[in-house]
Amino acid sequence: MQYLRKQFQASPIYVRVVPFVIFLALTFCQKWLGVQGPYWMYLVKTAVGAWLIWEMRSYVAEMRWAISWEAVVVGVGVCVMWIGISDWYPKFSKPDTTWNPHTLYGQGSTMAWMFVLVHLLGSTLVVPPLEEVFYRSFLYRYLVKTDFLAMPLSRFHLLSFVVTSAAFAAEHYEWLSGILCGLAFQWLVIRKNRIGDAMTAHAITNFLLGVWVIWKGAWQFW
């Protein structure tokens, strides 16, 4: 832990990239852990992600939640878009199994609802800071300027704007929704000159999408 803190303090790249890479690596590992793997690994990576955010908070000054009407509008709008266009374009590839703990642990069981709650909390509170710091604070600026901290968050750079959004989309099964989502969040950062609004919009989108998943049984979104 001391080593990690020293690296976070010493390198502005390390503190913005490594937590995201660790979280992503845990995500990829879950498919090799059997039928229960995705559920338990989501619990593990949510806990690890929360710890990483706690450790990096002192070294990433821009990682601060911010609320604005633009963040609310974008967050709600992206969720509506994500659901609305889902059936209208081909996805990268379908997952082997649908994420639905009720089918494994019993409909309405305590275990099933525990994993549902963990997924909702993780996607709402842990995923947005890790992803927004990596994509919007680091990658967007680093593609333009290796001394990325010297570049204002409000600066618009077309190529980086597109590439960063495409990279964000590559992480998602629903690639088209991911691109549009990435563009919207990056626009927020540029408009507000901070990533806090994008974190809030991201959290709103993921929360509302999670509510939709639970309400409608649309587990394919998870």
Using alpha carbons, select from 130, 147, 126 the residue that is nearest to residue 44.
126
pTM as predicted: 0.94
Contacts of 74 (CB under 8 A, 6+ apart): 184, 185, 187, 188, 197, 201
116 in a structural domain? yes
123 in a structural domain? yes
153, pLDDT greater than 80:
yes
HSE on the CB side for 92, CA within 13 Å? 13
66-85 pLDDT, tens digit per residue, is: 999 999 999 999 999 999 99
Tokens 């600026």 belong to 141
34 in a structural domain? no
210 in a structural domain? yes
46 in a structural domain? no
Q: In the predicted model, what is the mean pLDDT of the chain?
A: 94
131 in a structural domain? yes
Let me know: does 77 contact 175? Beta carbons within 8 Å.
no
157-193 pLDDT, tens digit per residue, is: 999 999 999 999 999 889 999 999 999 999 999 999 9
Number of domains in the chain: 1
Residue 212 lies in domain:
62-221
200 in a structural domain? yes
